Every structure is written in C-alpha cells, then in structure tokens.
Chains A and B, each alone.
Chain A
Amino acid sequence: GQNIDQPTEMTATEGAIVQINCTYQTSGFNGLFWYQQHAGEAPTFLSYNVLDGLEEKGRFSSFLSRSKGYSYLLLKELQMKDSASYLCAVDQAGTALIFGKGTTLSVSS
C-alpha cells in the first residue's frame, strides 16, 4: 500500500523556525514535492527533492532521506502570511502525485 504521514496541525510565533515532517511508504518514488495552500486557494509549488540532502530556497528549505522514507520542510523567520496548509506529495510514477493530508500551520504574533 501507500501511506504519507504528516502532523495535522502546528503552531509557531513570528520570527521563529518551524520544521514540518513527512514520512512516506509508497510502491514507487520519483521525488517528493512540498506545496503551500492558503485556505480557499490553489496549492502552490514550494520545493522538489529527488536526491538525499537539503535544498535551500530563501526562507524555505526541504530535506530528503530516501533510505528512511523521510522529508521535512523548514521555514525560517516565520511571517504571519506563512499561516497555511503545507502538503507533502510523492511523485510515484512520473504522473499523478500522492498527497498527505496536509499540515495546518498557524503563525501568531
């Protein structure tokens, strides 16, 4: 079967750092995506990892360990506008994405 797990909710304060974890068990693996989704809006692309290691992109970084079936999204210098749902998705076969349920992040002042 296939399973993607991420925490349901997280809270943090402005200026802080937060790490959102994702573990996966899928029959195939062609990489892992992170998307951000504000309420009522389209998911927007944040990052893609296919090789082990850390990819840094401004305030956001994403890490992948294929051997452990594990990824995390790291958000630094949190801002109120970062309050959103963060979706972990596995590219299993080069076409459809398999999504986790999403982690709702609330940033407070």
Chain B
Amino acid sequence: GAGVSQSPRYKVAKRGQDVALRCDPISGHVSLFWYQQALGQGPEFLTYFQNEAQLDKSGLPSDRFFAERPEGSVSTLKIQRTQQEDSAVYLCASSLLAGGPGETQYFGPGTRLLVL
C-alpha cells in the first residue's frame, strides 16, 4: 500500500496485560514517529526513530512504554502492564528524510487501545 498502516486497528486489554502495536511506514521513509492521542485532544509526541536509531524518547510517559525499529522499517510500540490511563489512540507517522524543517509527516489510521 501507499500509506502508513497500523495494526491492530482496535485493541481491548485487561489492566495489567502487555500489548504490542505495529506500524508499517511508507516504504523508504527514514523517519518514524509515535504519538498518543487522547479523546478530544491533539496528538502528543512519544518517540522518534531515524532508521533503526531511536533518537528521541522523551515523550514516553513511563518505563512501561518501549518502542523499537530493529531493521529501520517496521516499528513496534510495546506497553507493559497496561493501565486505564493508557487508553488512547496510538498514531504512527513517517517522513521521507531524516528530520528537518518542513518535513511532512504522513500518519497512519491509528490503533485505538481500550484498557479495562
């Protein structure tokens, strides 16, 4: 496909479960971003990869959140021991180049996570 894809689109987890969210960026895109979007809010930055290197993880809310992009393409966001406050839409975005002013980020449809 031509766009960013994410799976699963919906995930229901019981409190305390671990979850893994997958992002397939646009082929050839160097940069990959994860954002968290709570209901009625704008997306909030979680972490940024340039190829396989995680250059910024300052937005990860706790050490229960972990992201990887081992081969510089597909990325996985893992949340351990999920809590109710983790319920949100997790958006992935990619951009062609290695950051820089004006680089357009292309977003996937998101994974809607509900923690019960």
On A, residues with C-beta under 8 Å from B are 4, 30-31, 33, 35, 40-45, 48, 50, 87, 89, 91, 94-102
B56 lies within 8 A of A95 (CB): yes
Taking A94-B99, A96-B45 as contacts, is the C-beta distance between A45 and B40 under 8 angstroms?
Answer: no
- How many angstroms from the CA of A87 to the CA of B42 in the assembled complex? 7
Chain A residues near B44: list those with CB within 8 A: 99
Q: List 24 A-B contacts (CB under 8 A).
A: A30-B102, A31-B102, A33-B104, A35-B107, A42-B107, A43-B43, A45-B105, A50-B101, A50-B102, A87-B43, A89-B42, A91-B101, A91-B102, A94-B99, A94-B100, A95-B33, A95-B56, A96-B56, A97-B33, A98-B45, A99-B35, A99-B42, A101-B42, A102-B41
> B72 within 8 Å of A by Cβ?
no
Chain A residues near B41: list those with CB within 8 A: 101-102
Known: A42-B3, A95-B99. 11 other contacts (CB 8 A): A31-B102, A33-B104, A45-B105, A50-B101, A94-B99, A94-B101, A96-B48, A97-B105, A99-B35, A99-B42, A101-B40
> B108 within 8 Å of A by Cβ?
yes
- How many angstroms from the CA of A4 to the CA of B31 in the assembled complex? 24
Taking A99-B44, A100-B42 as contacts, is the C-beta distance between A42 and B108 under 8 angstroms?
Answer: yes
- How many angstroms from the CA of A89 to the CA of B45 in the assembled complex? 11
B31 lies within 8 A of A95 (CB): yes
Which among B3, B59, B102 is the interface contact of A48 at CB below 8 angstroms?
Answer: B102
Query: How far, in Å, is B111 (CB) from chain A's closest CB?
Result: 11
**Considering the complex, which residues of chain B in the window 72-103 have a beta carbon less than 8 Å from any beta carbon of chain A?**
91, 99-103
- How many angstroms from the CA of A64 to the CA of B45 in the assembled complex? 23
Chain A residues near B110: list those with CB within 8 A: 42
Chain B residues near A42: list those with CB within 8 A: 3-4, 91, 107-110
Query: How far, in Å, is B70 (CB) from chain A's closest CB?
Result: 20
